[in-house]
Amino acid sequence: MLESHFNPKDFTPQLPESVEFILSQLQMSGYKAYIVGGCVRDMILHTLECSDNAGLKSDLTYQNLPSDYDIATSALPSEVIKLFPRTIPTGLKHGTISVIYKSEVYEISTFRIEGAYSNKRAPDSVRFTTELELDLQRRDFTMNALAYSPQTGLIDKVNGLRGIINRKIICVGEAHLRFNEDALRILRALRFAATLDFEIESHTDSALRECAKNLCFISKERIRDELTKLLCGRAAEKIMRKYGDVLCVAFGGMISFEGLEVRLPQNIESKAFIWALFLAQVCDGGKTSKRDKADKILESLKFDNKTRRYVSEILKACEISLELDKQEIAGRIIALGGRETRGLEYCKQGCVNGGMGLSISGERILRDMIRLKMAVVAQDSTQDLAQKGLKEFQKAMEQVLDSNLPLSLKELCINGEDLKRVGIVGKDIGRILQILLEEIASEKLKHSREALLIRAGELRG
């Protein structure tokens, strides 16, 4: 236990100036106001990890700094709107107002008591209250039911601090009730266990498993988002081993985790790549091909078309022989879209939810195929031989990419306008340019303007 490292009375985290301003505005107007939930939890974790790593430079001490701050208050939504000039009524029904201050957006929610959850996802009604304790009692896990303000210090009405210190995920109140109210909390528990490397307390664990059937009431988009965060967690492999039965329900029975040993290295920034890596390991077997099964899973979870195509292309690339020569590698890169576009940084987060920014090119697909295979074979008994083959393939690929060989139509020294000038029109332009590109890659044709125009004339017939 780490209890000796943390004294709640000494917990005085430095808050962003904007957060302090919002809290002070509410408090000076006679309202109670606190930062609540995940941001308080993360600041406590940050304090604990800094204490554990005192004198050491560790990335862990920066992992749990909050990225956003939620604020809870006794002020009614209408009163919050009056206090701040720039607001958005993002969740007026549930008492949430977004305040825009210095270009940042902060959610401010009125203390509330929630009614029944007939749809297993959201309360049928809410009732506002002026009591913080009543608001904290409606929250999912004790570690997320903490409040703080510089004036009051840390407020812990549900033993949330003890849960954090002991690295335990514990439901607030009766666990079955919490999971029957909102089935998404089941996946949130697994996600937090994966991202924070926490254990799920025994009663919470039992209730979570018994209520897993209620995941059918949750939208696929919300399930997708929670699973994505889980897969990126530092303890994702452990959670999949321990809660495969629950995850099987989350995937609609499309994946059986029994006997699976999934490897998910840490610090992978691309969400699309982590899904490709995961699906490459869980989609083996059966009459359906790995690519088709993976795509059905992504489609069921409402993934965007670009992510689905990206994953499909990587899984397809995993099937190619690593003994290709440079000409064949060049042909593969051309078929997949050529070199990575220079000057446009590859989207680190992948797309997953919208397709914007995800790079799909021959270079990217083959690079990520190599990364995927390296990750999968990292712990195999034959890893040395497998890694040697991958490294030789990568070396040949780099030589192709570093060469002056054109690997896409835009890299040719002629274009469609040049072909129009020699009388080539319509669909023949694209067809002939593609043939020229492939013949250059196979070393049948010299990449010069004169040679290409002569050959284009021959192809026109």
For the chain, what are the domain ranges? 1-166, 167-262, 275-340+360-408, 410-460
pLDDT surpasses 90 at 301:
yes
* Count of alpha carbons within 13 angstroms of residue 420, beta-carbon side: 5
Confidence of residue 385 (pLDDT cuts 50, 70, 90): confident
Tell me which of 1.10.260.40, 3.30.1490.20, 1.10.110.30, 3.40.50.11740 is the CATH number of domain 167-262: 1.10.110.30
Q: Residue-wise over 175-200: b if at least 16 C-beta within 10 A, else e? A: bbebbbbbbbbbbbbbbbbbbbebbb
Mean pLDDT is lowest, of 94-108, 130-144, 368-382, 383-397, for 368-382
In this prediction, residue 168 carries a pLDDT of 98
In this prediction, residue 344 carries a pLDDT of 42
* Percent of the chain scoring above 70 in pLDDT: 91
Residue 310 phi/psi, 5-degree rounding, is -60, -50
Q: What is the mean pLDDT of residues 281-289?
A: 81
pLDDT surpasses 90 at 177:
yes
In this prediction, residue 261 carries a pLDDT of 86
Q: How many CB atoms lie within 10 A of CB 399?
A: 13
Mean pLDDT is lowest, of 54-58, 216-220, 401-405, for 54-58
* Torsion angle (degrees, nearest 10) of CA 50, 55, 56, 61: 10
d(CA 358, CA 347): 5
Structure tokens at 32: 């109670």
Does 1.10.1660.10 match the CATH number of domain 1-166?
A: no
* Torsion angle (degrees, nearest 10) of CA 395, 396, 402, 403: 160
